[in-house]
C-alpha cells in the first residue's frame, strides 16, 4: 500500500520539477529549429516566388495565379484537420514516436512535389492552369503530412514554459534562416541559366535536397516525452473539434493569426512586384533577405528578454505594434527611396520577428488549456486547426495580391502607371499594417492565457496525473 501511494507522489514531484526547471539541451533545441529550416526551404519557394513564376514563366494571368493559391490553401486547410485527426488517433506508437515518423517518411515526397510546382510544361493555356492547380494542391497536401506533426511535436517535448519559449526561438530562427537562404539563393541561381524555365526547378531542387537533410537531423535529434494515447472511445475526434469552440485562447489566437499571417504573407507575395516596379530594383530581395537575417539574432535576444520581463502575451503585442508603426512611417515618407526604405523596413521586420517567435509557444500552451478544460489532450487536432487558420491566411495572401494586381492595372514586364505604383504601395504597406492593427487590439483585450495562468493550469494537470 505504501509503495502504491509513493509512486504517484514521486511522479507528481517529477512533473512539478519539469514545470519549474528547463531541461532541454542546446542540441535538441537546435535540432528542432533545423526542422523548420527544412520546412521553409520548400514551403517558402511557393510563398515568395510562385506567383511571379506563374505570371512571368508559366504564362498564366495574375488573378488565376491568385486563385490557385486561394483554392489550394482552402483545400489544404481541410487536409490539415484530417492529418491532425490521424495523428491524435494513433494506437501503439512505434519506438520512433507519435509525431516523428511523419517527418521521416513525408520529407521525400514533399521535396519532389516542391520541384514539380516550378516546372513549366509546354501545355495549352488551359493545360497550364490545370497543371498549376494540381501540382500546388498536391504540394500543400504533402506539406501538411510533415508540418502538422512537426508543429505538434513541441508540446510533447517539454511542459516547461521557458523551454517552450526557447523552442519557439529556435523554430523561428530556422524559419527566418529559410527566408534568408531562399531570398539570396534562388534568383542568382535562376539567373545563371539563360532559360529560366530550367533555372527555377534546379534552384528549387537544390534547396529541397538541403531541406530533406535538415528534416533527418530533426528526426534524429529530438525526443518525445509527453505523449498520450487516446482510449478506444467512439466520437473522440468529433468531441475534440467541438471542444475547440469552447477554448477561448484558441479562438482569439486563431483570429489574431488570421490577420497577422495574412499581413506577413501578403508582403512576401507582393514584395517582388514592389521592388521591380516601384523601386526599379528587381534584385533587391537578396539585400532585404540579408538585412532581415542580420537583425534576426538581436530580435530573438530581444524576444527572450521581453518574454521573461513581460510574458509572452505582452511580448507579442509589443512586436506587432512596432511593425505597424514602421510600416506607416515607410509608406508616408520613404516608399520611393531605396536606402531609407531598407532602413525602416529592416526595423519593421525586426519587430515582426518577435510575435512570430512566441506564437508557437502559444499553441503548446493552448493544448494544456484544452486538456485542463475538457480532460482531452489533442495536440494534433489543435495544431491542425491552428494550421487551418494559417492556410486560410496564406490563401488570402495569395489571392488578394493576384486579384489586386489586376484591379490596379499591373501589366507584367512593362512600365506601370502612377495609379498602379500607388496601388502597389498601398498593397505592400497599408493593407498589412491595418490588418495587424486590428489583430493587436483583439489579442490585447481577448486573449486570457498569461504565463502565470498557464503555469497554474499545468500544475493542476500534474496533480490530476494527466501529464
pLDDT tens readout for residues 78-113: 888 888 888 877 776 666 788 899 999 999 999 999
pLDDT of residue 362: 87
Among 369, 365, 379, 368, CA closest to 467 = 368
pLDDT tens readout for residues 256-287: 988 888 888 788 778 888 898 888 888 888 88
Higher pLDDT, 20 or 193: 193
pLDDT of residue 236: 62
At residue 180 the predicted structure's pLDDT band, cuts being 50, 70 and 90, is: confident
Instruction: Flag the least confident range among 6-20, 149-163, 327-341, 363-377.
Output: 6-20
- Determine the average pLDDT of the residues in 429-449: 93
pLDDT of residue 5: 38
pLDDT of residue 419: 87
Residue 118 · residue 50 · CB < 8 Å: yes
pLDDT tens readout for residues 222-261: 988 876 665 565 666 677 667 777 889 889 998 998 888 8
Instruction: Flag the least confident range among 52-61, 224-233, 301-310.
Output: 224-233
- Determine the average pLDDT of the residues in 196-213: 94
The CA-atom distances, in angstroms, between 25 and each of 28, 272, 346 are: 6, 39, 31
Measured distance CA(39)–CA(103) in Å, rounded = 10
Which grid cell sits at 196? 529560366
Which grid cell sits at 77? 486547410
What SS3 state is found at 466? Answer: coil
Residue 119 · residue 128 · CB < 8 Å: no
Which grid cell sits at 275? 521592388
pTM: 0.71
The CATH T-level fold of domain 23-224+235-463 is: Growth Hormone; Chain: A; (1.20.1250)
Amino acid at each position: 500500500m505504501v509503495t502504491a501511494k509513493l509512486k504517484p507522489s514521486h511522479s507528481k514531484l517529477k512533473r512539478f520539477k519539469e514545470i519549474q526547471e528547463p531541461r532541454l539541451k542546446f542540441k535538441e533545441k537546435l535540432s528542432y529549429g533545423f526542422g523548420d529550416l527544412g520546412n521553409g526551404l520548400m514551403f517558402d519557394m511557393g510563398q515568395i516566388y510562385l506567383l511571379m513564376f506563374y505570371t512571368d514563366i508559366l504564362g498564366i494571368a495574375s488573378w488565376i495565379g491568385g486563385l490557385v493559391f486561394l483554392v489550394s490553401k482552402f483545400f489544404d486547410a481541410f487536409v490539415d484537420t484530417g492529418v491532425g485527426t490521424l495523428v491524435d488517433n494513433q494506437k501503439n506508437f512505434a519506438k520512433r514516436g507519435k509525431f516523428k515518423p511523419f517527418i521521416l517518411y513525408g520529407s521525400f515526397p514533399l521535396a519532389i512535389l516542391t520541384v514539380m510546382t516550378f516546372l513549366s510544361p509546354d501545355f495549352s493555356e488551359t493545360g497550364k492552369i490545370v497543371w498549376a492547380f494540381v501540382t500546388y494542391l498536391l504540394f500543400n497536401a504533402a506539406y501538411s503530412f510533415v508540418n502538422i506533426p512537426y508543429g505538434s511535436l513541441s508540446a510533447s517535448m517539454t511542459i516547461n514554459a521557458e523551454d517552450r519559449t526557447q523552442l519557439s526561438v529556435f523554430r523561428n530562427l530556422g524559419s527566418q534562416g529559410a527566408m534568408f537562404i531562399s531570398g539570396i539563393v534562388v534568383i542568382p541561381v535562376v539567373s545563371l541559366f539563360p532559360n529560366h524555365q530550367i533555372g527555377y526547378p534546379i534552384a528549387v531542387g537544390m534547396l529541397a535536397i538541403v531541406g530533406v537533410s535538415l528534416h533527418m537531423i530533426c528526426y534524429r535529434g529530438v525526443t518525445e516525452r509527453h505523449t498520450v494515447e487516446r482510449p478506444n472511445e467512439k466520437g473522440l475526434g468529433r468531441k475534440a473539434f467541438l471542444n475547440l469552440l469552447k477554448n477561448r485562447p484558441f479562438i482569439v489566437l486563431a483570429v489574431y493569426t488570421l490577420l497577422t499571417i495574412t499581413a506577413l504573407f501578403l508582403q512576401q507575395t507582393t514584395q517582388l512586384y514592389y521592388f521591380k516596379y516601384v523601386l526599379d530594383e528587381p534584385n533587391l530581395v537578396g539585400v532585404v533577405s540579408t538585412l532581415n537575417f542580420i537583425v534576426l539574432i538581436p530580435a530573438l535576444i530581444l524576444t527572450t528578454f521581453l518574454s521573461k520581463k513581460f510574458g509572452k502575451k505582452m511580448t507579442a503585442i509589443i512586436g506587432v505594434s512596432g511593425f505597424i508603426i514602421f510600416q506607416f512611417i515607410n509608406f508616408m515618407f520613404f516608399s520611393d527611396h531605396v536606402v531609407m526604405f531598407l532602413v525602416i523596413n529592416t526595423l519593421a521586420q525586426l519587430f515582426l520577428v518577435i510575435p512570430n517567435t512566441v506564437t508557437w509557444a502559444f499553441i503548446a500552451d493552448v493544448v494544456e488549456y484544452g486538456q485542463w478544460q475538457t480532460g482531452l489532450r489533442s495536440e494534433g487536432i489543435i495544431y491542425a486547426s491552428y494550421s487551418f487558420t494559417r492556410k486560410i491566411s496564406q490563401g488570402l495572401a495569395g489571392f488578394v495580391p493576384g486579384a489586386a494586381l489586376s484591379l490596379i492595372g499591373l501589366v507584367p514586364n512593362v512600365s506601370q502607371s502612377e495609379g498602379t505604383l500607388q496601388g502597389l504601395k498601398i498593397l505592400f504597406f497599408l493593407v498589412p499594417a491595418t490588418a495587424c492593427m486590428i489583430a493587436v487590439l483583439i489579442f490585447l483585450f481577448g486573449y486570457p492565457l498569461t504565463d502565470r495562468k498557464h503555469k497554474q493550469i499545468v500544475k493542476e494537470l500534474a496533480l490530476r496525473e494527466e501529464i
